[in-house]
Structure 1
Amino acid sequence: MKKFMDWLSNSFAPKAKKLTQRPSVAGLSSAMQKLIPFILTGSIVFFYNVFRSYISVLPDLSTISNYSFGLIGLIAAFMVANQYMEKFNHRQYAITAGIVSICSLMMFLHPVAAEEGVYEMDRIGPTGILIGVIVGMGVSVIFHYYAKLKLFKESNVPDFVIEWINNIIPIFASLAFWAALTFGLKIDIFAVIIGAFGPIQSFGQSLPGLILLVLIPAFFYSMGISTWLWSAIQNPIFIAGIAANTLAVQQGMDPSNIVTNEVVYSIGLIMMGGTGATLALNIMMLFSKSKKLKTLGRICIWPSIFNINEPLVFSTPVVMNPLLMMPMWINSIVGSCVVWFVMKGGLLNIPSELMQLAQIPAPISSVILTSDFRAVLWYVLLFGIYFGVWYPFFKVYEKEVLAEEIEEAKEPTFINTTESVA
């Protein structure tokens, strides 16, 4: 174990952190974070609709959701190109590249356009988020390599003319590329991309897919690398899953996709207290014999209740602490398996509405999202499981901390007895 931890600490973690700082990775991660407000706006409307279903006089706010979350593919196209230009230090193209990405994505509606000009707008909604990401990346590549050419750098042409030319060329090249594929070769790019990523989506909706989508972020998080890094991989799978569930319910069928943001994060069963199910660890710390751990437990308990565990993970610390990293990984696997089999077995409803309520304490969020009071029972049972996993590791770590505190107490205290002379 010691050799493994040394390798993680001294070799793997530094290289992984360096990778996350590369513009090609950081840009995508940043873009996904900037999508969150639009997703949450839609979530608020869906949450509001829970009350509206009981109070019919409340106004219909679906339009707000349709023009926020309902356009998430279009927004993703802009944000990806925009953030790539920021991270690659081509800030002069940040807005332009984003707008070109939107224009490019709109081309993909052409193959399904009706004669009267009616378009299938679902292609720029939740199912189009992956398409938006790819379009944004494609446009970014063109703008990035054009910017590296630094044309007209030594030219005597007026600056404003050079700026026009340096925008016109990559704009034209980007739109020409997508137009050649869409209108020239008659390729339905939307269908091609969805078909190519179909196997990935299918795997993502399997039990191994769920485990990996939960475990991998937890593994890197235990080394101090933010879980946001993986949102670019998770979100297309999550959003496509919940969109399919919503459509299934509208068609009178039962939802079947378990791997959604609602299940992984919002219902608070897999992420009880945050990544790695750290709420149980926080509860143990509240009753610890160690002054340090008890104090930290009191400080971190309120964020933990709202499924925010950064204060706990970085202060305890869990990060790069082999005794506390292991249970985080184990709980990520165990929690995923329990929730998967419980939902597949019909013992808990599968969420069918997009409501990202990760910061609403469970089991309140659990019941709201599943519309199933059995969620309270599974919350209690899973808490017991997580507690059992954390307990032996925590007690060993607590013993180490107590030993350190005893040693610190034995150290002599030096008091300055020198009196000042007037």
Structure 2
Amino acid sequence: MSKIERFSEKVMKFAQLRYVKIIMNSFLGIAAFSIGASLFSLVRSIPIPIWQEFLNNTGLTSILNIPISMVSNLYAIMVVISIGYEVGKSFGQRPLPAAMVAFGSFMILTPFVANISLTNEAGEAVSGLAQNVISIGVLGSQGIFLAMISGLIAARLYVFLLEKNVKIRMPDSVPPSVAGMFETMIPAGLVFIIFIVFRVVFEHTSFGTMQTFIYTILQKPIVGIGANPIGAALYLFVGKFLWMFGIHGDLLTYATLGSVRQAATQANMAAFAAGEAVPYLEWGLLTPFANIGIFGLTLLLVFSKSKQYKSLGKLALPTSIFNITEPIMFGFPIILNPIMAIPFVLTPGISVVLTSLLMNIGIVAPLTGVALSNVIPAPIYLWMATNSITGLIWGVILVLINAAIFFPFFKVAERTAVKGENEAEVK
């Protein structure tokens, strides 16, 4: 077995680990909520002045913000329920009770105190801590890591207790729905007691709550790693590098860092709905640039001197425009192609770095935080994501830059292909 084959085997084994699959399936399972919110984001962000004026004058902007805010501000709840469900299903137990135990455990750890600001009858602003109030932020982007960790622990403990028969056994004559309710009582109660202990312990620390501890020590620093051009470029680099060995690198990086990316995405969406600047600019650039290099390569194929490359380019152009890359990945091919490895791996990161630089110095408008579909062509994506014509212009320029980076490597492959075609014609 070659070194490449051994490396691929190890990566695939990692992707098949039980808890990696649980996390991946959990985020994929709630993707519909994000997609649904992105549709409202799409309508709200169409960068046409007349349309934007219409939305503002009719009050539709506020209405369209409701589902966007709902998803971004309640995303942690969706995460913990989905993870609990997947844990139960993975271990052969009823998934819904496991999901509810995970949700209940998460809420036990959620702080019931928040800073609020009110205006009294005299018009004076009054602010301070309020008891029995949940800050919407801890149920949204700030609570994603806590939701993931507490969901895994709570659901796994629940399953462990069931496997050890720590439950009330009912006679066979009792209907399954009723028997299931009684079986759940003791293991769920024990899990809740454990999480109450967690809550009380953290109340006596300087953090005050487990939510604050995880957000401060774990989530904020990890998400912050990608909140710069180098971190975002590295994320894309790893995904494309794995593709070179026949591994779906984009899916694997999402499986391992999906929680980080979603935390940043939901924070950006919340900022968009509130009309504020996005806190994680570079994380928002991952979607449009993941496959922009393949689009640039496809344009080269369309005008290739090689007959087979020209045919492939014409066939793949409609799909490449919408970021569907499989015809090029497997038909060119890109996978296991040492000639094309360098531009394929580097172009997404270069696109992120250049765009981040231009946005930070003000040449290209910054992202608004709107959530858009990943099938939107990169230039149009940037136009809508920035609500500015500068995004569209830069998107077109960036496609040409990616094509230019691929060009010298493509010419090497093209010469080989043309030579082979000429020899075949002579024969």
Superposition TM-score, scaled by structure 2 size: 0.81
Change (3 A) 1:252 1:306: closer
Question: Which residue number in structure 1 is paired with residue 193 of structure 2?
Answer: 176
1:194 is displaced (CA, Å) by: 0.2
The question of 1:213 aligning with 2:235 is answered: yes
Q: Write the distance in 2 (CA, Å) between the matches of 1:92 and 1:404.
A: 58
- Distance in 2 (CA, whole Å) between partners of 1:162 and 1:280 is 60
Give 1:9-408 correspondences, 5 Å limit: 10-50=5-45, 53-55=52-54, 56-57=57-58, 59=60, 60-86=63-89, 88=90, 90-112=91-113, 117-146=132-161, 149=164, 158=172, 160=176, 163=180, 166-183=183-200, 185-186=202-203, 187-197=208-218, 198-226=220-248, 227-241=250-264, 244=267, 254-255=277-278, 257-261=280-284, 263-265=285-287, 268=288, 270-271=289-290, 274=291, 277-405=293-421
Cα 1:357–1:225, aligned 2, differ >3 Å: closer, same or farther?
same
Question: What is the one-letter code of the residue matched to 1:322?
Answer: P
In the superposition, relative to structure 1, how do residues 252 and 166 fare at CA in structure 2: closer, same or farther (>3 Å)? closer
| 1:278 CA displacement | 0.5
- Distance (whole Å) between structure 2 residues aligned to residue 209 and residue 149 of structure 1: 44
- Change beyond 3 A, Cα 1:248–1:163: closer
- 8 Å contact 1:109–1:120 — kept in the other structure? no
**Matched residues in 2 for 1:185 and 1:306: separation?**
48
Q: Residue 70 of structure 1: CA displacement?
A: 3.0
Quick one: distance in 2 between partners of 1:365 and 1:173? 49
Any gaps of 5 or more consecutive residues in structure 2? 115-128
Shift of 1:191: 0.4
User: Shift of residue 340 of structure 1?
Assistant: 2.1
Q: Cα 1:294–1:172, aligned 2, differ >3 Å: closer, same or farther?
A: farther
Cα-to-partner distance string for 1:151-173 (whole Å, 9 max, x where unaligned):
79xx9963858755653344223
2:69 and 2:414 map into 1 onto residues whose CA distance is: 51
Q: Please give the root-mean-square deviation of Cα atoms over the aligned residues, in Å.
A: 3.2
User: Which amino acid in structure 1 is aligned with residue 83 of structure 2?
Assistant: V
Count of residues in Structure 1 that have an aligned counterpart in Structure 2 = 395
Q: Secondary structure at the residue paired with 2:323?
A: coil
C-alpha contact (below 8 Å) 1:290/1:398 kept by paired residues: yes
SS in 1 for 2:30: helix
Give aligned-pair identity as a percent: 21
In 2, Cα distance between the equivalents of 1:225 and 1:201?
25
Does the CA contact (< 8 Å) of 1:214 and 1:336 recur in 2?
no
Unaligned 5+ runs, structure 1 = 412-422
**AA of the residue aligned to 2:40:** V
Do the aligned partners of residues 38 and 251 (structure 1) sit closer, same or farther apart at CA in structure 2, a change above 3 Å counting? Answer: closer
CA distance in 2, matches of 1:354, 1:235: 18
C-alpha distance in structure 1 between counterparts of 2:7 and 2:87, whole Å: 26
Task: Using the TM superposition, give the Cα deviation of residue 248 of structure 1 relative to its aligned residue in structure 2, in angstroms.
Answer: 6.3
Q: Distance in 1 between matches of 2:157 and 2:421?
A: 58
